[in-house]
Structure 1
Amino acid sequence: MELGVFAVLFAEKPLEEMLDHIKSLGLETVEIGTGGYPGNAHCNPSELLADESKLKAFKDAVESRGLTISSLSCHGNPITPDKEFADQCHQEFLDTVRLAEKLGVEVVTTFSGTPGAYEGAKAPSWPVAPWPNEHGEILKWQWEEKLIPYWKEAGQFAADHNVKIALELHGGFLVHTPATLLKLREAVGDVIGANVDPSHLWWQGIDPVAAIKILGKRNAIHFFHAKDTYIDQENVNMHGLLDMQSYANMQDRAWIFRSVGYGHDMKVWSDIISALRNVGYDGAVSIEHEDGLMSIDEGFSKAVANLQQIVIKEPLPDMWWV
Structure 2
Amino acid sequence: MKLGVMTVLLGDLSLDETLKYLKSLGVQEVEIGCGGTPGTAHADAVKFMEHPELIEQFQETVAKYGIGVAALSCHGNPVHPNKEIARSYHEQFEAAICLAEKLGVKTVVGFSGCPGDCDDSQYPNWVVATWPDDFQKIKEWQWNEKLIPYWKKEAKFAEEHNVHQIAFEMHPGFCVYNPGTLLRLREAVGPVIGANFDPSHLFWQGIDPVAAIRALKGAIYHFHAKDTAIDRYNCAVNGVLDTTPFDRIPERSWSFRTIGYGHGEDVWRAIFSELRQTGYDGIISIEHEDGLMTTREGLEKAIEVLKRTIIFEERQGGMYWA
With the length of structure 1 as denominator, give the TM-score of the two structures.
Answer: 0.98
Give, in angstroms, the shift of residue 287 of structure 1.
0.2
Q: Which position in structure 2 is the counterpart of 1:227?
A: 226
Query: Using the alignment, how far apart are the partners of 1:207 and 1:293 within structure 2?
Result: 25
Q: Which position in structure 2 is the counterpart of 1:67?
A: 67
For 1:101-112, list aligned pairs within 5 A: 101-112=101-112
SS for the counterpart of 2:65 is coil
Give, in angstroms, the shift of residue 227 of structure 1.
0.3
Give, in angstroms, the shift of residue 184 of structure 1.
0.3
Q: Which position in structure 1 is the counterpart of 2:114?
A: 114
The residue type equivalent to 1:190 in the other structure is: P
Query: Using the alignment, how far apart are the partners of 1:150 and 1:294 within structure 2?
Result: 39
SS for the counterpart of 1:309 is helix
Query: Using the alignment, how far apart are the partners of 2:154 and 2:101 within structure 1?
Result: 15
Query: Using the alignment, how far apart are the partners of 1:144 and 1:49 within structure 2?
Result: 32
The residue type equivalent to 2:92 in the other structure is: E
Query: Using the alignment, how far apart are the partners of 1:84 and 1:31 within structure 2?
Result: 27
Query: Using the alignment, how far apart are the partners of 2:60 and 2:310 within structure 1?
Result: 27
Q: Which position in structure 2 is the counterpart of 1:156?
A: 156
SS for the counterpart of 1:166 is strand
For 1:232-243, list aligned pairs within 5 A: 232-243=231-242
The residue type equivalent to 1:248 in the other structure is: D
Give, in angstroms, the shift of residue 321 of structure 1.
2.6
Structure 1 segments of 4 or more deviating over 4 A?
none
Q: Which position in structure 2 is the counterpart of 1:96?
A: 96
The residue type equivalent to 1:272 in the other structure is: I
Aligned-pair identity in percent equals: 51
SS for the counterpart of 1:176 is coil
Listed one character per residue, the Cα deviations across residues 37-85 of structure 1 (whole Å, up to 9, x for unaligned) are 1111110112222333221110111122010111100000000112222
Q: Which position in structure 1 is the counterpart of 2:203?
A: 202
The 10-residue stretch of structure 1 (38-47 or 72-81) with the greater mean CA deviation from structure 2: 38-47
Q: Which position in structure 2 is the counterpart of 1:275?
A: 274
Q: Which position in structure 2 is the counterpart of 1:312?
A: 311
The residue type equivalent to 1:194 in the other structure is: A
Query: Using the alignment, how far apart are the partners of 2:73 and 2:201 within structure 1?
Result: 17
Give, in angstroms, the shift of residue 231 of structure 1.
0.5
The reply to whether residue 190 of structure 1 matches residue 194 of structure 2 is no
Listed one character per residue, the Cα deviations across residues 278-298 of structure 1 (whole Å, up to 9, x for unaligned) are 100000000001001111111
Q: Which position in structure 2 is the counterpart of 1:15?
A: 15
Query: Using the alignment, how far apart are the partners of 2:144 and 2:156 within structure 1?
Result: 17
The residue type equivalent to 1:165 in the other structure is: I
Which stretches in structure 1 are left out of the alignment for 5+ residues? none
Query: Using the alignment, how far apart are the partners of 1:187 and 1:19 within structure 2?
Result: 39
RMSD between aligned alpha carbons?
0.9
Listed one character per residue, the Cα deviations across residues 117-165 of structure 1 (whole Å, up to 9, x for unaligned) are 1111010010111101101110110000110011000011111222110
Query: Using the alignment, how far apart are the partners of 1:137 and 1:51 within structure 2?
Result: 45
The residue type equivalent to 1:90 in the other structure is: H
The residue type equivalent to 1:289 in the other structure is: H
The residue type equivalent to 1:236 in the other structure is: C
* Aligned residue pairs, count: 320
Give, in angstroms, the shift of residue 20 of structure 1.
0.9
Listed one character per residue, the Cα deviations across residues 189-219 of structure 1 (whole Å, up to 9, x for unaligned) are 0000000000000111100010001101xx1
Query: Using the alignment, how far apart are the partners of 1:171 and 1:106 within structure 2?
Result: 25
The reply to whether residue 258 of structure 1 matches residue 261 of structure 2 is no
Which stretches in structure 2 are left out of the alignment for 5+ residues? none
Q: Which position in structure 2 is the counterpart of 1:47?
A: 47
The residue type equivalent to 2:18 in the other structure is: M
Query: Using the alignment, how far apart are the partners of 2:52 and 2:137 within structure 1?
Result: 49
SS for the counterpart of 2:250 is coil
SS for the counterpart of 1:224 is strand
The residue type equivalent to 2:179 in the other structure is: P
With the length of structure 2 as denominator, give the TM-score of the two structures.
Answer: 0.98
Give, in angstroms, the shift of residue 320 of structure 1.
2.5
Give, in angstroms, the shift of residue 176 of structure 1.
0.5
Give, in angstroms, the shift of residue 17 of structure 1.
0.8
Give, in angstroms, the shift of residue 315 of structure 1.
2.2
Query: Using the alignment, how far apart are the partners of 1:143 and 1:136 within structure 2?
Result: 11
